[in-house]
Amino acid sequence: MRKDWIGIPALGILLLLASFAAAQDAVEEMTQDADPRPGEMMEDTAGVEGTQLQPAVEGVPEEPGPALDVPGAITVEDKDNDAGDQLVVCFEPPADTSGVFAYNVYRRKAGETGEVSWNLVKIIPVLGPTLFIDGYDPEYPIEPGTRYEYRVASVSLEGEEYFGEPQVAQAVPAGELYHTGKTKVLIAGGLFIFLIFYYFGKAQRGRQMYLRPIAGIEAIDEAIGRATEMGKPVLYVPGLSTISDVATIASLTILGRVAKKVAQYQTPLMVPNRDPIVYTVADEAVKQAYLEAGRPDAFDPDSVFFLTDSQFAFVAGVNGIMMREKPATNFYLGMFWAESLLLAETGSLTGAIQIAGTDAVTQLPFFITTCDYTLIGEELYAASAYLGREPKQIGAVKGQDACKGIIMAFITIAFVLSILDMVADTETLEWVRRIVTVPIVD
Amino acid sequence: MKRTVPLMIVMVGGILMMVQYFIPHQYSQAVFDSYVSWAPIIAAFALILGVGSLTRVHAHKIRRKAENWQYSWAVLIPLYAMPVLAHIWPVSLSGGMDEPSIFHFLFMHIQVPIQATMFSMLAFYIASAAFRAFRAKSALATVLLLAAVIVMLGQVPIGDLIAKWFPQIGLWILRYPNLAAKRAIMLGVGFGILATNLKIIFGVERNWLGGAGK
Amino acid sequence: MNIWERMLNIDRRWIFLSIGVVSIIPFLTKIGLPVSTTEEVEDIFTYIDSLGKENAIFISFDFDPGTQAENMPMGVAVMRHAFHNHVPVFLTAYTPLGHGMAGGALDYVTRPSTPGYYTSVDFDEWADIRNAGITDRDELEAAWEEAGNVLPDDSHGWVFEGRDFVYLGYAPLFHLVILGMTSSIETQYPSDAHDNPLSEMPILREHKSLREVDLAVTTSGSSACTAWVIYGREKIGLPVAFGVTAVSATDYYPYIQSGQIIGQMGGLRGAAEYEVLLQQNGITETTDKAFTGMDVQSADHLLIIFFIIMGNIAYFMGGFHRKKQLKGGR
């Protein structure tokens, strides 16, 4: 109830903003349809952009040079795998490029008239490629479903433009419903998702699955018990990352279990947070755990708190808590960066039992050297399966293992192929690599 | 109801974003763009909750005159003073010497040194941890110890003075054995993330919503 | 308790004190040990060296003051290099405190008290020249000097705000800002940190989105740098270079091997290497803070190795290797 009052005005403002944004979008859409900003276009065309490639002739009267050869046919194709906001434009360079400094490519909506309606969308140096993707310029976006008209000018060293014939685009930009460049991702993702669901189902049907014991997880109860015996608090740091980090989510899952145990033993708990959203979720998780343990009265609203979003100020805060309150047990579970050793070493100074877990590989050595138990990488994610022993959770862990099996098989094949290639001087590995690798898309 | 609605939102949102990845169409792009626009707004509101929490905890301490309650003032006063000062004297943070402002002064001469001090403590703690951890207890621990010494020397000019090839060995350790181990862990982490995300999207994992139970 | 046991259980404050003393001495004596350069840093240097006034780079200060001793010299060195070659620079920050760091770096490079500084010309100061339609880098400098402005003797050159650099600073949820900038920089930053409208800046007119930018150098003390790879490199193929703290440098070697980043400056050493390259190529007369810091780091590493050796001597001489468990020195 404490902070519920914040939620009401916050929700109100959010809704207000949403409706305002929607209204603004609608107005903008109408304005765009009605007015293609002709005045601005003209100004832009003659403005800064043009001057970049035009040699400066300030103060010198321009003398028209000899007429230049003009570019030829323009072909326009719709670009694949886009949102209908890009076109592939190609033009034939003039047969004689002598005296040509660059090409200016102009675009307007088909059917528009007047010089003012042309927008300069691309300047290409004379030796540059005559094929380019139009639509990247945020000032002159391409609208899906609109037919455009192009013209290209040869630009002389003096800045004179000699226009080729305007050409209505052969293609209309249209968005695609499937990105063909992502098929490999879809296949691999689909396979891995299938495997995880397959093991979900298997576990659900009551199939017994073995999980390798993890010392760090098994020590959680013992660590809380020690704090209870000593009458000292338990400190739980759910990492320094945001809620979008899976390590944080895994940590909050474990926090729920730890809080339940702590509530049963009636041991004080302290959960400092760096991220406000993580704080909100952690607060809710601990409150719910106390409720489920049948001890809602024992829940201290100040036990879960936000410290600061600044990395090292947070460390200073937590270290201060450790030195003052001397918690008997410290949990560092979640995402950590350079602060890991600062936290764990201070904790070891106070003599606390420490259990850490992170998927930040670089920080693992620090935790391993200073903490009693460390969950390495994916062990952190598997912790909720270990603690809850729910069939689906265990199935997910098995699914992960199956996925890893596939990757291990691939690595082994690649290893063998690389040796064979070395011996037989072939390029099989490169061939396989081309099949498997995903190029930069978009 | 309290749990069903958030779970539905997560499921619909999760599947939508997954599918969106494969659809480049403008409508799909519009969904993604609206997410990009909304996320900072929601994050900004969350900050209000955070500041509220910090204020509440320290206000309680001061009211109850709990142990070391005086320090709570040291938290609360700067917490509110810095934004206020930034708005009263909204001089750019890069103002430098020619544009002094109280905000700039506090940032450069209090916040920066304090944070630098915190990070520099790492050097002291690493020395202490290395002293306690690097023992040649077994053959593997000895390999680890030697690798650490080579990398440490290879990273500083002293390594160059010892022998030209010394830093090369250090780099080799970083580029190959270190990377092999790292990749193995990263692959496991990657699949862990995939499985956890699926568990969240399909409601198998619900504890993050609050609560330790089912 | 025998001497070996006492040695193993040494009060850690002695270790702290030794580190403190050993860190201070090299600052006073300035040994100047030579720093050799590595491929990871040379690649960044060569890439930036190949750029000119028609290109543009981002230098993102994605760190908090805590790691500025390592990260700041990287940002400063790259900025100097870009300013020397007249490569336009966008300055951004991943965190609110990084905003101050970006401003601090710019301030340092353009402050007359810094050796080899660049003389900054505010956006408003050259408004007349801009309004006259002169925005080309060389013409701008000529027009500026023609207007009676003289470059101080000790200055390395002019840098024009809005032409040679723009200080964009911090924007919330920066990873989404990077994503947004792949379409348009101006929609994410309508004005710069000094409230100058971006739409009027030549740097933006020529580089409207990240697609028209040639490199992003991210200096980072956390995993913030990966956002540039995820949203910049993977989405539009933006070349990215990392400048990361030594403690996290090993994390990012996979990105180099996979070709996702063009190079990496790892810790103070990486920054010192860049300073050495700048000096060797005549871009700066002297090296800077990172190079000086390498003496300190050498001394500290030697001391840590000394402690490790002493610890092991005590461990074996005291016969502790025969015991199963050794209690650490708490």
Q: Is the pLDDT confidence value at A16 over 90?
A: no
| Phi/psi at A88 (5° precision) | -95, 115
**Averaged pLDDT for residues A59-74:** 71
Q: Round to whole Å and give the CA distance between A395 and A301.
A: 36
- Cα dist. A153→A93, A419, C212 in Å? 10, 55, 22
Residues B104 and B154 reside in one and the same domain: no
CB contact under 8 A, A342 and B125: yes
The pLDDT score that the predictor gives to residue A336 is 92
Residues B123 and B140 reside in one and the same domain: no
Q: Is the pLDDT confidence value at A41 over 80?
A: no
**B neighbours by CB contacts (3+ pairs under 8 Å):** A, C
Which A residues 99-118 touch B at CB under 8 Å? none
pLDDT: which is higher, C96 or B24 = B24
Other C-beta atoms lying within 10 Å of the C-beta of residue C305:
17
Residue type, A42: M
The pLDDT score that the predictor gives to residue C64 is 87
Count Cβ–Cβ pairs < 8 Å, chain B vs chain C: 166
Q: Is the pLDDT confidence value at B19 over 90?
A: yes
SS3 A438: coil
Greatest mean pLDDT among A251-255, A425-429, B200-204, C119-123 lies in: C119-123
Instruction: Give the length of chain C.
Output: 330
User: A381 to chain B, minimum CA–CA distance in Å?
Assistant: 6
User: B107 to chain A, minimum CA–CA distance in Å?
Assistant: 13
* CB neighbour list of residue B38: distance below 8 Å, 6 or more residues apart: none
Q: Looking at beta carbons, which residues of chain A come within 8 Å of B195?
A: 196, 381, 396-397, 399-400
pLDDT digits (tens, 9 = 90+) for C89-102: 999 999 888 998 99
CB contact under 8 A, A380 and B51: no
- Cα dist. C40→A155, C44, C218, C227, C263 in Å? 42, 7, 14, 20, 5
Residues B11 and B71 reside in one and the same domain: yes
Q: In 3D, which of C289, C284, C34 has the Cα closest to residue C156?
A: C284
pLDDT digits (tens, 9 = 90+) for C10-66: 888 999 999 999 999 988 887 888 899 999 999 999 999 999 999 999 999 999 888
**Averaged pLDDT for residues A241-253:** 89
Q: Looking at beta carbons, which residues of chain A come within 8 Å of B42?
A: 14
The pLDDT score that the predictor gives to residue A347 is 93
Q: Does A307 touch chain B (CB under 8 A)?
A: yes
Number of domains in chain B: 3
Do A398 and A209 contact (CB within 8 A), yes or no? yes
Residues B72 and B97 reside in one and the same domain: no
Per-chain mean pLDDT for chain C: 91
Residues C7 and C48 reside in one and the same domain: no
Q: Round to whole Å and give the CA distance between C108 and C75.
A: 11
3-state percent helix, strand, coil for chain B, nearest multiple of 5: 80, 0, 20
Residues C100 and C244 reside in one and the same domain: yes
Q: Round to whole Å and give the CA distance between A226 and B126.
A: 28
**Averaged pLDDT for residues A189-196:** 92
The pLDDT score that the predictor gives to residue A63 is 52
Residues B101 and B48 reside in one and the same domain: no
Give a yes or no: residue B210 inside a domain.
no
Please tell me which residue of chain B has the smallest CA distance to C18: B124
Q: Looking at beta carbons, which residues of chain C come within 8 Å of A344?
A: none
Count Cβ–Cβ pairs < 8 Å, chain A vs chain C: 75
Q: Round to whole Å and give the CA distance between C264 and B39.
A: 31
CB contact under 8 A, C20 and B179: no
Residues B10 and B78 reside in one and the same domain: yes
CB contact under 8 A, A284 and B209: yes
Could you report how far apart the first and last alpha carbons of chain C are, in Å?
15
pLDDT band at A212, cuts 50/70/90? confident
| Residue A361 structure tokens | 């590989």
Please tell me which residue of chain A has the smallest CA distance to C142: A56
Q: Looking at beta carbons, which residues of chain A come within 8 Å of B122?
A: 338, 341-342
| Residue A409 structure tokens | 């098989």
The pLDDT score that the predictor gives to residue A441 is 56
Smallest Cβ–Cβ distance between A312 and the set C64, C186, C251 belongs to C64
Q: At what angle do helices A391-424 and A183-204 cross, to 10 degrees?
A: 140
CB contact under 8 A, C330 and A49: no
Q: Round to whole Å and give the CA distance between B31 and A160.
A: 45
Q: Does B51 touch chain A (CB under 8 A)?
A: yes
* CB neighbour list of residue A220: distance below 8 Å, 6 or more residues apart: A254, A257, A258, A261, A331, A355, A387
Candidates B132, B145, B174: best to mutate against C (most CBs of C within 10 A) is B132
Give a yes or no: residue B30 inside a domain.
yes
pLDDT digits (tens, 9 = 90+) for B130-158: 888 888 888 888 998 999 999 999 889 88
Q: Round to whole Å and give the CA distance between C114 and C154.
A: 10
| Residue A53 structure tokens | 């490639």
Percent above pLDDT 90 for chain C: 72
Smallest Cβ–Cβ distance between A442 and the set C132, C134, C236 belongs to C236
- Give A205's DSSP letter: T
* Count of helices and strands (H, E) across chain A: 13, 14
Smallest Cβ–Cβ distance between A369 and the set B67, B129, B211 belongs to B129
Give the DSSP letter string of A75-101: EEEEPTTSBS--EEEEEPPPS--TTEE
Torsion of CA B159, B165, B171, B174, to 10 degrees: -90
Q: Which domain holds residue B101?
A: 89-127
The pLDDT score that the predictor gives to residue A383 is 85
Q: Looking at beta carbons, which residues of chain A come within 8 Å of B212?
A: 256-257, 259-260, 285, 288-289, 292
Residues C161 and C240 reside in one and the same domain: yes
User: B43 to chain A, minimum CA–CA distance in Å?
Assistant: 8
The pLDDT score that the predictor gives to residue B132 is 82
CB contact under 8 A, B127 and C67: no
Query: Kind of pairing, strands C240-244 and A269-273?
Result: unpaired
Give a yes or no: residue B11 inside a domain.
yes
Candidates A176, A269, A306: best to mutate against B (most CBs of B within 10 A) is A306
Residues C186 and C283 reside in one and the same domain: yes
Candidates B145, B208, B209: best to mutate against A (most CBs of A within 10 A) is B208
Residues C153 and C44 reside in one and the same domain: yes
Smallest Cβ–Cβ distance between C298 and the set B114, B158, B182 belongs to B158
Work out whether the CA dihedral C10, C16, C19, C22 comes out positive or negative.
negative
Greatest mean pLDDT among A372-386, B4-18, C268-282 lies in: C268-282
Smallest Cβ–Cβ distance between A312 and the set B25, B115, B133 belongs to B115
Residues C257 and C307 reside in one and the same domain: no
Smallest Cβ–Cβ distance between A177 and the set B25, B130, B132 belongs to B25
pTM of the model: 0.81
Residues C125 and C138 reside in one and the same domain: yes
C-alpha C239 chain-centroid distance: 16
CB contact under 8 A, C304 and B160: no
User: A389 to chain C, minimum CA–CA distance in Å?
Assistant: 32
Give a yes or no: residue B50 inside a domain.
yes
CB contact under 8 A, B132 and C294: no
The pLDDT score that the predictor gives to residue B48 is 86
Give the residues across from A175 on adjacent strands: A83
pLDDT digits (tens, 9 = 90+) for C181-240: 998 999 999 999 988 999 999 999 999 999 999 999 999 988 889 999 999 998 899 999
The pLDDT score that the predictor gives to residue B90 is 58
Per-chain mean pLDDT for chain B: 84
Residues B12 and B30 reside in one and the same domain: yes
Q: In 3D, which of C293, B72, C7, B161 has the Cα closest to residue A324?
A: B72
Q: Is the pLDDT confidence value at A216 over 60?
A: yes
The pLDDT score that the predictor gives to residue A73 is 94
Q: Round to whole Å and give the CA distance between B59 and B77.
A: 11
Do A196 and A403 contact (CB within 8 A), yes or no? yes
Give a yes or no: residue B214 inside a domain.
no
Residues C182 and C313 reside in one and the same domain: no
- Cα dist. C101→B116, B205, C111 in Å? 12, 40, 15
Smallest Cβ–Cβ distance between C321 and the set B131, B137, B182 belongs to B137
CB contact under 8 A, C237 and A440: yes
Q: Is the pLDDT confidence value at C144 over 50?
A: yes
CB contact under 8 A, C245 and A338: yes
pLDDT digits (tens, 9 = 90+) for A391-404: 888 888 899 999 99
CB contact under 8 A, C251 and B182: yes
Q: Looking at beta carbons, which residues of chain C come within 8 Å of B43?
A: 172-173
Which B residues 43-62 touch C at CB under 8 Å? 43-44
Please tell me which residue of chain A has the smallest CA distance to C221: A338
The pLDDT score that the predictor gives to residue A61 is 45
Residues C171 and C205 reside in one and the same domain: yes
Other C-beta atoms lying within 10 Å of the C-beta of residue A197:
16
Q: Looking at beta carbons, which residues of chain B come within 8 Å of A306?
A: 49-51, 53-54
Q: Is the pLDDT confidence value at A153 over 70?
A: yes
User: C185 to chain A, minimum CA–CA distance in Å?
Assistant: 9
Number of domains in chain C: 2
Residues C66 and C15 reside in one and the same domain: no
- Give A269's DSSP letter: E
The pLDDT score that the predictor gives to residue B96 is 44
SS3 C212: helix
| Residue A44 structure tokens | 């832009």
Residues C306 and C164 reside in one and the same domain: no
> H or E segment at B51?
helix B26-64
| Phi/psi at A215 (5° precision) | -60, -40
User: C252 to chain A, minimum CA–CA distance in Å?
Assistant: 10
Residues B74 and B93 reside in one and the same domain: no
Q: Round to whole Å and give the CA distance between C120 and C123.
A: 9
Domains (ranges, CATH) in chain A? 68-177 (2.60.40.10), 182-207+393-436 (no CATH), 215-389 (3.40.50)
- Give A175's DSSP letter: B
User: A225 to chain C, minimum CA–CA distance in Å?
Assistant: 21
Residue type, A436: V
Q: Does B109 touch chain C (CB under 8 A)?
A: no
* CB neighbour list of residue A89: distance below 8 Å, 6 or more residues apart: A74, A75, A76, A105, A122, A131, A132, A133, A134, A150
pLDDT digits (tens, 9 = 90+) for A109-135: 999 998 899 999 999 999 889 999 999
The pLDDT score that the predictor gives to residue B100 is 62
pLDDT digits (tens, 9 = 90+) for A323-370: 999 999 999 999 998 789 899 989 988 999 999 999 988 889 889 988
Q: Which domain holds residue C312?
A: 1-30+291-330
The pLDDT score that the predictor gives to residue A52 is 35
Please tell me which residue of chain C has the smallest CA distance to B42: C173
Residues C155 and C18 reside in one and the same domain: no
Residue recorded with tokens 């004297």? B89
Do A233 and A268 contact (CB within 8 A), yes or no? yes
Largest CA distance in chain A: 97
Q: Is the pLDDT confidence value at C330 over 60?
A: no
